[in-house]
Amino acid sequence: MYEWDENKNNLNDAKHGLRFEVAVEVFSDSNAIVQFNRDVNGEIRDQIIGKIEDEIVILFVVFTKRAQKIRLISARKASNDERAMYENQTRTD
């Protein structure tokens, strides 16, 4: 269901301290915010802001859909603005 480039995963881990194996947990968050973002060289890239199960960490993940799989592009901890957007949305639901 999920896939990624392993070199990109290692670079993401070095830069953001976050591996894609962990980041995929945001897709299980029923309160996650999905934003349909932009076209990059003919490929639609979307964003999801969500919480990792059993943790307080809120993540920002860029992904695309290829065939029947979700391909992770990047993942990091959410910025303060992204965290506020997530927290405000979960308060109103």
* pLDDT for res 90: 73
Considering only residues 40 and 21, tell me which one the structure prediction assigns the higher pLDDT.
Answer: 21
Average pLDDT over residues 54-78: 90
Distances (CA, A) of 70 to 27, 83, 87, 91: 10, 23, 25, 28
In this prediction the pTM is 0.86
* pLDDT for res 39: 82
Q: How confident is the model at residue 92 (pLDDT cuts 50, 70, 90)?
A: low
